[in-house]
Structure 1
Amino acid sequence: MRVHPASCALSAALLALPAAAQNLPQKHPQRPFSNASSYAEASLPAVTVAASGVEDGADDGDALARRTVPLESAAATASRLEAPIKDIPASVEVLGRAAMQSRGDRTVLEAAEKAAGLSASHTPGSPASFSARGFAGGVSLLYNGLPIPGGAVTSSRVLDTGNLARIEVLRGPSSVLHGAWGTGAVVNLITREASFERQRPELDYSLGSHRAHRLHLGAGGALKADTLAWRLDYAGAHAHSPVQAVRTVKNQLNASLLARFSARLRLTLALDHASDNTRNVYYGTPLINGRLAGALRHINYNQLEDGIFKARNTWLRVHLQWDAAPGWQVDGRLYALKGFSDWRNIEKFVWLGGAAPASQRVQRSSWVNLDHHRDLIGGRLDVLRRNQIAGRPNRLLAGVDLSRLQFASWRNDYGGRDEVSAWQPPVVTRFGSVGRAKTPARETTVRQASLYLEDLLEITPQLKLMTGLRHERIQGRWLWLDRSGHPQARKTHRYTAWRAGVVYEAVPDLHLYASLSTAAEPGSTLLLANPQQSQLRLTTARQAEIGVKQSLWEGRGEWTVALYDIRKRNVFVPDPQRPADRIAIGQQSSRGLELTAAWRPAPQWQLQANAAWVRARYDDYQSGNPPVSYNGHRPPMTPALALNLGLGWRPAPAWQFDAWLRRLSRVYVNDANTATLPAYATLDLSAAWQASPQTEITFRVRNATNALYAHAVHYSGTQAMLAPPRSYEIGVKWRF
């Protein structure tokens, strides 16, 4: 395996820093390492923002009172300058551990959908796909600030929230900070890590409908006071499904070790492993005359005796934090990811109908037998300088980011079709008859190198200017082994992205902001590009945004509003004639409004709400022969309106009741805007009893109204991914 020379140099520099720092003369007094810092993610004792309150390592007992707090804390997803969120000219939200537990969010999907403007549109092949700001699939995923290669298409998994400290959401383009990724938003999954703060041992267990078991175990603390700390978390789930024959097993293990060499130098080592294995995974329910079929919601058309749907990812991370001198901080990261996915399924279903139930048939096709291998290695080095310009405080960060991703896919698909009973589909061993051995299909290598700057200048105590600049080079190499002649291709992309914004504190705790930013993205994952797509230019985007952030009543209330306009050029969309391929169109735009609010009128009551309205449209899109214009049409899977409303009530210290209402408008499922998924509303209810200082018992009802709705369509709209019906859960939390 060849290693990028620049990666070797960066690795050597990072590993040499601890020894170099120990030998530096102590010309200034040592000061404690800043905890309230994006450079101390691993040990943040408390991160709080907007309607979501975030605490990790704190006592979970009074979650209701902690979900509305000032906008004073930092979020590294939005800025690496350690600036509080109120000083960042962008729309930022943090979903904290306490809030996720109180709402009963079991997975990242359930948690992230409660952020303003995010809606999930996931399928088994893209298990963490979201829509935001009018762009379906326009959300990038980060893992502890690091990009997940291939995004929702190849590498993401539906992770359990048990091992997470928080989820940070930055809405809008983010190329300046995170490279060529999604324009709609960035979702950063931040795990719990070693800390010198007090961390009580935890055991959480729940039992739910469809024999669903979920377990979380966690412990950590100081091995040697102020010198060595550890953290270990395990999350596991085993569940059947309302859909017949589906069985899922998930396991996650997160381990970290924190070494403090001095008051100015610390090193965190982290090892994370996640695996999932689903038997007879649900691939959707065929639509009947374009409508959702509730009568079929429990039937599984993907039943194979030799079926497989499993994956595993292992991360190794090294994080060095060094206060090099007064006003200087160095933050370095090395990381590696090894991942593997394996599929053997029937994926496409079309309703054929029939005069009577006994004669009604469904056609099955797209027999998929493939695997993906992923190897990612990279490093990032940031240097932060705190100084003054013309007597005014200034923070300047400069950084370099290098990575190399190797991707390989083997497959042995079968193109046959069969017709089965719509009500009693048979269990078959199809791949046993055509052979299971896979052959190499493609190899892809993507190398990335970037330089970036970020600056925050306090022009006056009330007025701040934030700017950023990034130049990135992306080199792609493809080898298609499943095509005649084994064609190869190479392509190098270069782009420069920038952002500039001002924040003005009009009155105490009321901040107004405005910003402009640009971004670039591949339009679709580079890993799966065909020979024609590999040579297409990057999609470019430009956004203008204005907003308001205010904290009220000594932190008992807060609200934010953001208005934005985004225009993307050279946009990639599925080819209407061949949906598996992507074509480039002229322009797509969106314009919208986002609101978040939280209010704690009394210690017993908590109100939370967010709303997002967006007008998304194609501005320049023609396809077909003769050409058909889709100008003015709304892109598929982009709801015009998304609403969330949460209510919490604590009538007595030992009791808490919560309700969460979610409403999503209808979405179109094709570019012609001739087919839709209907609007829906869901209601989740919960009651929690603090039986003792160490024990809490909860009871939950999800989708209490038993709403029939779908969160995605699959294969050109012939089938829909129906959401689960009403379910129940009882759980217990122990803190020792």
Structure 2
Amino acid sequence: MRKAPSRASSFEAMAGVGGGQALRAGVGGTGALGEKGAFRIDAYADHSDGFIDRGDARHGKVLTSVNYALSPDLDLDLSLDHLEQKPQRYFGTPLVNGGLSRALRDQNYNVSDADIHFVDDKAVARLTWRYSPALTVSNELAYMKARRNWRNVESYSYNAAASVVERSDYIGIHHDQEQTGNRLEARWVDGAHRVAAGWEASIIHFKHTNNSPYGGASTVTPFGFNPGVFDSPDPIQPNFATDTTSYAFYLEDAYRITPELLLLGGLRHDRYKVERVSLLGAAGFTSTLQSNAARLGLTWKLDQATALYAQVSSGSDPVASLLSLNLANSRYKLTSSRQVEAGVKQSLAGGKAEWTAALYRITKDDIITRDPANAALSIQGGAQSSRGAEVTASVALNAAWRVDANAAYTDAQFDRLIEGGNLSRAGNRPADVPKISSNLWFNYKADGWRGALGARYVGERYIDNANSQALPAYTTFDASLGWQYSRNVLVQLNLRNLANKLYAVTSYTSSQYLLGDRRHAELTVQWRY
């Protein structure tokens, strides 16, 4: 998270070690810049082997920012960031007899020269003009450039008869993306009204290089194998390029009807134009999409400790990423969604306890489905919905101990969806959506010491729309212990997955799951001056 510059000089540093050969370090400093400005610079890097063979991952970033008062009413904010990531080149563990195998937990079936590498650079300049006590105008200009590369063997299946792992999907992809955006916004305060109005525009140049159709196959033994190298029969070559132009206008108002009643309203219009050019000689196209969104909410403060709220809103989403929109998807309009939500927030016993609760219903129309009259055709007309409840609570047991808990219940289903073979999925739950998830934490803080013990539960999740296969529910336990050695030094020990639970975070294919981290410890030291 970015920290704002301050004219008061300060310096921070942290270092940490942990299981999986984890190392991390960071430094940051801020101070005055001349008589009217301030600066801040932060740098961070980490490394880990991810508890698997050839699972090395590295991340690094440098964040810089400057604030400067050009005049009493005009401020300039500048930031320049550089980020490099080499995530773990790991795509999960194959199932054995339909389940997870603890013996394969540390195995990585990717090739030896696998690569995932991201480089992002971003620059932002923001001018803020306080025209009057009631009116503030700002303009933010941003530029971002991203280079992203993948070269991996991504699909694995365990052949029990031959006791081997069959590998496929030799996938090579490279993205070059350049984006320029601008946001002009005015904020006006007039009595009971708090109004914000703005205009946004952006241009994105995107080039996609790959080796579709991603052929290639190989076989390795479950243990002690030579991982081999990336050897695809399909050449990696430029595939297509898109230019995406977007515009948006929005208007929001927070109207204080009475000291107890606050009415929130907002309108937004988005327009997108996507121009795609094939770099392989196929046909290109131009697609224009637009949408309107609205939001209306009411907050009612019953007393100093209790507030109720309700909100209705509408929105939209493309059926696929606009940057990679293809000819088949270009004929589709944006999907439409609606949400209704209501809730309560209350503080009890003079702030020693507090709780919130919310109920919601979300519907989404025009998702892609098969044509009932022709199963070979994909059309818009599908629909899905979800309703649910969320509850959070925090209670101080005494001056040192506090309990925090939250739980969420989600009842999601497809209302209309037909897949291949004219199979209706109506009534099925969408993939990766648990019905129940929850967290429970006991926290301690006294005499320079802090500690916590917590549990997290995630319910069963289906991996496909047919609901034919499910990821098992799981519960994990974590703990932490911190010591404020001095006013400037904090030592923190975090313990993850105390029971060393073997569990799947998500599925990658029906034959392989991505696993959660094994039990490990992390020790960090933070120093502030």
Task: Output the TM-score relative to the length of structure 2.
Answer: 0.95
The residue aligned with 1:442 is 240
2:176 is the alignment partner of 1:415: no
Match of 2:440 among 630, 645, 658: 645
CA RMSD, aligned part only?
2.0
Match of 1:624 among 403, 415, 420: 420
Q: Secondary structure at the match of 1:673?
A: coil
1:674 is displaced (CA, Å) by 1.4
- In 2, are the aligned partners of 1:479 and 1:487 still within 8 Å (CA)? yes
The residue aligned with 2:71 is 262
Match of 1:727 among 514, 520, 524: 520
Within a 5 Å distance, the mapping from 1:582-621 to structure 2 comes to 584-621=380-417
Match of 2:163 among 360, 370, 374: 360
2:8 is the alignment partner of 1:214: no
The residue aligned with 2:90 is 282
**Amino acid of the structure 2 residue aligned with 1:461:** P
Q: Distance between the aligned counterparts of 1:655 and 1:665, measured in 2?
A: 34
2:42 is the alignment partner of 1:233: yes
- In 1, are the aligned partners of 2:370 and 2:417 still within 8 Å (CA)? no
The residue aligned with 2:374 is none
1:665 is displaced (CA, Å) by 0.4
1:300-334 CA-partner distances (Å, limit 9, x unpaired): 10022x32211111110112222111210112211
1:582 is displaced (CA, Å) by 8.7
1:732 is displaced (CA, Å) by 1.0
The residue aligned with 2:453 is 659
2:189 is the alignment partner of 1:386: yes
Unmatched segments (≥5 aa) in structure 1: 1-163, 165-190, 576-580
- In 2, are the aligned partners of 1:636 and 1:670 still within 8 Å (CA)? yes
The residue aligned with 2:54 is 245
1:243 is displaced (CA, Å) by 1.0
- Percent identity, aligned pairs only? 33
Change (3 A) 1:572 1:691: farther
1:412 is displaced (CA, Å) by 2.8
The residue aligned with 1:463 is 261
Q: Distance between the aligned counterparts of 1:597 and 1:262, measured in 2?
A: 46
1:550 is displaced (CA, Å) by 2.3
Q: Secondary structure at the match of 1:291?
A: coil
Structure number with greater Rg is: 2
2:511 is the alignment partner of 1:718: yes
Task: Output the TM-score relative to the length of structure 1.
Answer: 0.69
The residue aligned with 1:328 is 135
The residue aligned with 2:198 is 399
- In 2, are the aligned partners of 1:533 and 1:582 still within 8 Å (CA)? no
1:59-99 CA-partner distances (Å, limit 9, x unpaired): xxxxxxxxxxxxxxxxxxxxxxxxxxxxxxxxxxxxxxxxx
Within a 5 Å distance, the mapping from 1:438-587 to structure 2 comes to 438-482=236-280, 485-572=281-368, 584-587=380-383
Q: Secondary structure at the match of 2:103?
A: helix
The residue aligned with 2:103 is 295
Q: Secondary structure at the match of 2:131?
A: strand
- Which stretch shows the higher mean deviation, 284-293 or 637-646? 284-293
Q: Distance between the aligned counterparts of 1:600 and 1:529, measured in 2?
A: 52
1:614 is displaced (CA, Å) by 0.7
- In 1, are the aligned partners of 2:220 and 2:227 still within 8 Å (CA)? no
Match of 1:204 among 14, 38, 41: 14
The residue aligned with 2:6 is 195
1:653 is displaced (CA, Å) by 1.4
Change (3 A) 1:323 1:573: farther
- In 1, are the aligned partners of 2:443 and 2:451 still within 8 Å (CA)? yes
**Amino acid of the structure 1 residue aligned with 2:436:** L
1:278 is displaced (CA, Å) by 4.4
1:555 is displaced (CA, Å) by 4.0
1:376-426 CA-partner distances (Å, limit 9, x unpaired): 1001011111113xxxx1111111010111111112355121121122332
Q: Distance between the aligned counterparts of 2:233 and 2:95, measured in 1?
A: 29
Change (3 A) 1:583 1:480: farther
Q: Distance between the aligned counterparts of 1:703 and 1:586, measured in 2?
A: 40
- In 2, are the aligned partners of 1:374 and 1:405 still within 8 Å (CA)? yes
The residue aligned with 2:122 is 315
1:700-727 CA-partner distances (Å, limit 9, x unpaired): 2101111111111113x22111111101
Unmatched segments (≥5 aa) in structure 2: 372-376
**Amino acid of the structure 1 residue aligned with 2:527:** W
**Amino acid of the structure 2 residue aligned with 1:377:** T
Change (3 A) 1:327 1:430: closer
2:159 is the alignment partner of 1:348: no
Change (3 A) 1:707 1:467: same
Q: Distance between the aligned counterparts of 1:585 and 1:646, measured in 2?
A: 43
Q: Secondary structure at the match of 1:527?
A: helix
**Amino acid of the structure 2 residue aligned with 1:216:** G
Change (3 A) 1:552 1:329: farther
- In 1, are the aligned partners of 2:370 and 2:420 still within 8 Å (CA)? no
Change (3 A) 1:430 1:470: closer
1:223-278 CA-partner distances (Å, limit 9, x unpaired): 335x1101111110011121111111110110001101234321110011110124
1:199 is displaced (CA, Å) by 5.8
Within a 5 Å distance, the mapping from 1:143-154 to structure 2 comes to none
The residue aligned with 1:681 is 475
2:493 is the alignment partner of 1:699: yes
